[in-house]
Structure 1
Amino acid sequence: MHKEEKTSRKTFHSRLNRMVEKLERDIAEGVYSVGDLLPSETALAELFKMGPRSVRKGIDLLVERGMVVKERRVGAKVVKAPELEQVTLVIACYATVVHDFALEPLIADFQALHPSIRVKTILVNTDHYHMFTQMLDSGVIDAVTLNQDTFQDFAVRDKLSLLEPLPDHLPGVYRFLTDVFSVGGRRYVQPVTFSPLILCYNKAHFRENGLLEPDSTWTWSDMIKNARQLTRSDSYGLYFDPLSINIWPALLLQSGVKFERDADGRFEVGPDGKFMECMRYYREIVSDPSMFPPFWNDREIDYIQMFKEGHISMTLVGYSTLTRLGGSGLDYDISPLPFIRHPLTNAVSIGVGVNEQSRQKEAVRTFMEYLRSPRAQRLISTHSLSIPVHKEVADEIRPDDGLRPSRYNLFKEIMPSFRVQQDLNLANWQLRQISGPLQLYLTGQIGDTALCERLARALS
C-alpha cells in the first residue's frame, strides 16, 4: 500500500471517529434529545469535512449502538441517550491566564454545559517552553496555552510535532490571528484572546497639572516631557518594567530594527547601529530620576499596585493587565503606545493547542470549540479586559459598562499597527537571552561595547 493511501485511510478513520464521538457526546449531554433529528447528511458532511457515504457509515455506527434510528424521508432520529464516563482534561497554563482568560468562570460554565468532562489545570510561572514541551512529550497533559512567542520557540526548535494540527477555518475569529499560530500553512493553536501594548494614564493627574491627555500623535519625547511635569515628591510621572520582554522590543520595532547575521552566521550587534541607538535612548529614560523611579531594578515592586494607589501617572501595559484595575475606582484611561519613527505596537495573542498524544482529543476539541464560541468569548469580556478574538463579541463591547476605560475600543483603530517580536528576526528564546546583559547595561554596570559583545555571544 502506498504511503499516500495509508495517510488517506488514517485521515478518513480519524474524521469518522471524530464525527461518531462528537455526535455520541452531544446526544449524551442533551444537545440532541430523544426524539430530535440529527442534522442532515449534507450538513454533517460539511461540518466534519467528509463525503456523504462516510457520513452514512458514521450514522450506521450510531444505529448499531442503539442511539438513533433511520426514518425514511425524515432522517436519523435520536432514540436513546448513552451514559458517558466522566473524562478529565489536563491543561497546562500560564499562571497569568487565570485573569487573562477569566479561567475559573470559564471552566465552571463549560463543566455545567458538559458534565461528563472535568477540566484540571496546571499553572506554570516560568520557563514556559521547557515546562510545556516536557509535559506534552510525557503525555501528562492534553492541551496547553501558548502565546505566539512561545509558539515560535516550538517552531524554531522543531517541536511542532508535539501539537496536533488544527482545521484552518475559524469562523468569526479575527483573520490576522491565524497567521501567528501557523507554520507552513498549518495552524497549531486556537487563539482565545489578544492584547496590544498601550499607554495607561491617570486622568486626574493630568487635570490637576493642566496637561492635555495623551493621543495617537504622542511620541516617546512627548511622554517624557509630560512625565517630568507630572512627577511629584510622592509620585513619578512614568514607570513600567524596563526588562519586560513586551516593552523594549516595541521600541526596536518602532525604529525598524532587524537583527541580521554576518557571513559567519553570527548576529551583527554594533555600537553604531539602530539597536544601540534605541538602547541608549531607553537607558536615558529609565535612569532619569526626574520622572522614573530609581528603584526599578527591584523586580518585586508591583508597579500596577503603585499606579492604582496614585504613585505613578503613566505606565505601559497590555490590555490583559487592565483587568487588575477593575473595581479600583481609579479615574484612568488608555492611549496608543507613543512612537519614535513608526506608530507600531507589540501585540500578544494567547491560545490553546492540543497534545498530539492526548487520549481525550474529542473532549479537548469540545473544550476548544467552547472557548471560541460567542458564549465563552462574552464570558471572557465580562470577567476580564482582555480582547476576545471573536469579532462579533468584540464589536459588542461598550466602554461605558463601568468596567472599562472610556477609550477601550481604540484597539479596533490601531490594529494595522500590530507587530510581533518575530518581526525583529529573533526567536523568543533569543530575546530572553538579551535580558541579562540588558539589565547590566541599563543599571550602568557595563557600557555600549560590552553590551554588544555579550549580545553577540548570547544570540549566537
Structure 2
Amino acid sequence: MSDKQSRKTFRTRMEEMIRTLREQIMAGHYAVGEYLPSELDLSRKFQLSNNSVRKGLDTLVEEGLVEKIPRVGNRIKAPSSEDQIVIRLGYYPIIDSQGELPYLLNEFQKRHPHIRVEPIQISDARGYVRDLLTHDMIDMAMMNTYLYQDLLEEQAVELLEPQEPFEEMYPFLKKAFQYKDELYAQPFIFSPVILCYNREHFASLQLPEPDSSWTWDDLIANASKLAIHNERFGFYYHLLSPNRWIVFLLQSGEVFRRDEDGRYRVHETRLLDGIEKVRDILYQPGVYPLLLSASSGEAERLFKEQQVSIIMTTYFSINNLKEADFEFDVAPLPHLNSFNTLNLTIGLAIHKRSKVKSAAKQLVDFLVSDEAQRVIRKETFSIPAHKQAAQWTGQTVYPTRYQMYKEIIPSFSTFTDTGLTLKQLEDMLSECKLYWSGLRTKERLAAGIEAILNQDGTGRYS
C-alpha cells in the first residue's frame, strides 16, 4: 500500500471515530460528567495509534463536547447553547395537558443534554403541517389521523421518515399511519369517541347508567328525562367537529363506494341513516342546546358546570374535567346500524429531510418508552399507545370505567372507513348542515350529496 493510500485510510478511520463519538454524545449515550472509553480502548476499536486518537479527541474538545481531565480521561462536558442540537417539534398545545408534554420534554433534556427541543405550535387546519414540512420549518410533528390523511391524499406522505413500530404498542394503532406497509408516524396516545356522563344526575332520577346496549333512541329518551328547563340540557357535543359528526356516517353500517357505472348512489340506501339521527337529536325538545355548538371545548365546559348531563367526547378531552367537583364516568357510544366509533390517534412523525433525524429518533424512542408512557397513564386520562402502560392499574382508577375502551376495540374505525376523502367529507358536511337546519328534505339531501360525490375532479358533475 502506498503512503498516500495509507494516509487516506488513517484519515477515514479517525473521521469515523470523531463522527461516531460525536453522534453518541449528542444522542445522550454518555451523560454529562461521564467519561469516554480510554484512549487505549478507542485505539483498539478504531485501529488508530494513541497519537491519532488524541488528535481526534482534540477535535471534540474544540467542539465543546468533551473536556480533558489530566491523568484521568476525557469527560463529557455540559453543552453551551451553541453546542446543542435543536429539534423543532410541531405540537398541539393541548398535548401539554393531554400528554404531560412539558414534563416529558424536561426529562428527555436531562438524559440528552446536548439536544434541545424547541416546541412550535401547529394548527389542525388542512395543509398547515404540510406547508411546514415542505419548507423545512420543523423536524418533527405530533400528527393526528386527520393531518396524516391530508398528507396521504395530497401525495406528500414521503415528506415523512418511515419508522419501525415499537413492539409494545397496541397493534391496531398502526392502521392510522400506515401506507404501503410503511409506518410514517409512531403512535403516541389514542382515544375512541365515547360518552361521558354525570353519575349524580342519573342517580338523582334513579335512571340506569349508559351501557353498551344503548341505541341513540335510548340516549334521546334518557336525555329528555335528565333535561331541566332553564337549568340544564340532557346531551351535547360539538355538532360540526369531524371527530363527532362522521361517527354517524360510520354507524350507518354501509360504506360509500362507486357502483358498476362508476357513480356514487345514496338514494334508497342506509348511508344517511346516521345523518337523519343527528336531526332527531337536534330537534328533540330540551335535549340539545342548538345555539351553543361553537367548539368541542364547549362540551366539556358545560359538562363541568353541570349544565349538561351527557356529552360525546374523548379520553383526551376529559382531561379538562380533572377539577370537576362531582362524580362522572365513561361509556361506549350508543349504536345505530353498527357499533362503530372513531378512534383518534396522535402519532410522532419525523421529517425525512431533517438534519437532526438521529436526535429526533431519540426523542420518539423516549416518548413511546415504558417510562414516558406510564407517566401519561398515571397523570392523564389519555390512553398510551404502549399496551402495558395503558393497562396499568397501580392505583384507584377514576373514572371507574376507564378500562372500558379495551372492550370496544373491535368498534374502532377511522375517517377512511367511510370510503370518502377528506375533501368529499368536507363538501358533504355543507349539505348536511342545510338538512339539519331544516332547509333540505332527506330526498334533496341525498341528491345534493350524490351531485357532490359524482363530480369528475374538475368541479363538473359527471
Please show how residues 66-85 of structure 1 align to structure 2 within 5 Å.
66=57, 80-81=75-76, 85=83
Cα deviation per residue 1:211-234 (whole Å; 9 max; x = unaligned)? Answer: 111112111121111111111111
> Does structure 2 conserve the Cα–Cα contact (< 8 Å) formed by 1:91 and 1:145?
yes
Partner of residue 424, structure 2: 430
Give distance in 2, aligned partners of 1:252 and 1:338: 14
1:327–1:63 distance in 2 versus 1, CA, 3 Å: farther
> Does structure 2 conserve the Cα–Cα contact (< 8 Å) formed by 1:66 and 1:80?
no
Per the TM alignment, residue 249 of structure 1 is displaced from its structure 2 partner at its CA by: 2.0
Gaps of 5+ in 1: 1-15, 38-55, 69-77
State yes or no: 1:268 paired with 2:293. Answer: no
Say which SS state the counterpart of residue 396 (structure 1) adopts: coil
Partner of residue 133, structure 2: 136
Q: Structure 1: which amino acid aligns with 2:118?
A: K
Per the TM alignment, residue 389 of structure 1 is displaced from its structure 2 partner at its CA by: 0.7
Give distance in 2, aligned partners of 1:147 and 1:17: 39
Alignment partner of 1:211 out of 183, 207, 213 = 207
Q: For this pair of structures, how many residues does the alignment match?
A: 416
State yes or no: 1:340 paired with 2:318. Answer: no
Alignment TM-score, normalising by the size of structure 2: 0.81
Partner of residue 456, structure 1: 450
Per the TM alignment, residue 383 of structure 1 is displaced from its structure 2 partner at its CA by: 3.2
Q: Structure 2: which amino acid aligns with 1:242?
A: L
Alignment partner of 2:249 out of 252, 260, 263 = 252
Farther-moved stretch of structure 1 (404-413 vs 258-267): 258-267
Partner of residue 363, structure 2: 367
Cα deviation per residue 1:86-113 (whole Å; 9 max; x = unaligned)? Answer: 1221122234323322222222222222
1:225–1:412 distance in 2 versus 1, CA, 3 Å: same
State yes or no: 1:293 paired with 2:289. Answer: yes
Alignment partner of 1:235 out of 217, 232, 237 = 232
Give distance in 1, aligned partners of 2:196 and 2:372: 27
Per the TM alignment, residue 399 of structure 1 is displaced from its structure 2 partner at its CA by: 6.7
Give distance in 2, aligned partners of 1:328 and 1:276: 37
Give distance in 2, aligned partners of 1:325 and 1:398: 21
Give distance in 1, aligned partners of 2:402 and 2:439: 40
Cα deviation per residue 1:269-328 (whole Å; 9 max; x = unaligned)? Answer: 33x321223212221111212311232455598221111111111111111011000022
Q: Structure 1: which amino acid aligns with 2:223?
A: A
Q: Structure 2: which amino acid aligns with 1:394?
A: A
1:103–1:437 distance in 2 versus 1, CA, 3 Å: farther
> Does structure 2 conserve the Cα–Cα contact (< 8 Å) formed by 1:253 and 1:424?
yes
Q: Structure 2: which amino acid aligns with 1:400?
A: T
Say which SS state the counterpart of residue 150 (structure 1) adopts: helix
Q: Structure 2: which amino acid aligns with 1:281?
A: K
Q: Structure 2: which amino acid aligns with 1:25?
A: M
1:17–1:236 distance in 2 versus 1, CA, 3 Å: farther
> Does structure 1 conserve the Cα–Cα contact (< 8 Å) formed by 2:220 and 2:284?
no
Partner of residue 112, structure 2: 114
Give distance in 1, aligned partners of 2:94 and 2:48: 43
Say which SS state the counterpart of residue 192 (structure 1) adopts: strand
Partner of residue 24, structure 1: 25
Q: Structure 2: which amino acid aligns with 1:33?
A: E
Cα deviation per residue 1:351-372 (whole Å; 9 max; x = unaligned)? Answer: 1111111111111111111110
Q: Structure 2: which amino acid aligns with 1:96?
A: I
Give distance in 2, aligned partners of 1:414 and 1:22: 44
Please show how residues 56-455 of structure 1 align to structure 2 within 5 Å.
65-66=56-57, 80-81=75-76, 85-127=83-125, 129-166=126-163, 168-233=164-229, 234-262=231-259, 265-270=262-267, 272-299=268-295, 302-397=298-393, 400-401=396-397, 404-455=398-449
Farther-moved stretch of structure 1 (213-222 vs 243-252): 243-252
Give distance in 2, aligned partners of 1:301 and 1:363: 34
Farther-moved stretch of structure 1 (440-449 vs 140-149): 440-449
Identity of aligned pairs, percent?
30
Cα deviation per residue 1:371-424 (whole Å; 9 max; x = unaligned)? Answer: 1012211222233211011111112145725xx211111112221221112111
Give distance in 2, aligned partners of 1:255 and 1:59: 70
Give distance in 1, aligned partners of 2:378 and 2:299: 25
Per the TM alignment, residue 57 of structure 1 is displaced from its structure 2 partner at its CA by: 6.8
Give distance in 1, aligned partners of 2:403 and 2:357: 36
Q: Structure 2: which amino acid aligns with 1:140?
A: M
Across the aligned residues of Structure 1 and Structure 2, the Cα RMSD in angstroms comes to 3.2
Farther-moved stretch of structure 1 (281-290 vs 89-98): 89-98
Say which SS state the counterpart of residue 151 (structure 2) adopts: helix
Per the TM alignment, residue 161 of structure 1 is displaced from its structure 2 partner at its CA by: 1.4
Say which SS state the counterpart of residue 413 (structure 1) adopts: helix
Q: Structure 2: which amino acid aligns with 1:410?
A: M
Say which SS state the counterpart of residue 213 (structure 2) adopts: coil
> Does structure 2 conserve the Cα–Cα contact (< 8 Å) formed by 1:259 and 1:267?
yes
Farther-moved stretch of structure 1 (99-108 vs 152-161): 99-108
Gaps of 5+ in 2: 1-16, 39-44, 61-72, 456-462
> Does structure 2 conserve the Cα–Cα contact (< 8 Å) formed by 1:101 and 1:380?
yes
Give distance in 1, aligned partners of 2:378 and 2:47: 39
1:341–1:333 distance in 2 versus 1, CA, 3 Å: same
Per the TM alignment, residue 79 of structure 1 is displaced from its structure 2 partner at its CA by: 5.4
Give distance in 2, aligned partners of 1:304 and 1:175: 30
Alignment TM-score, normalising by the size of structure 1: 0.82
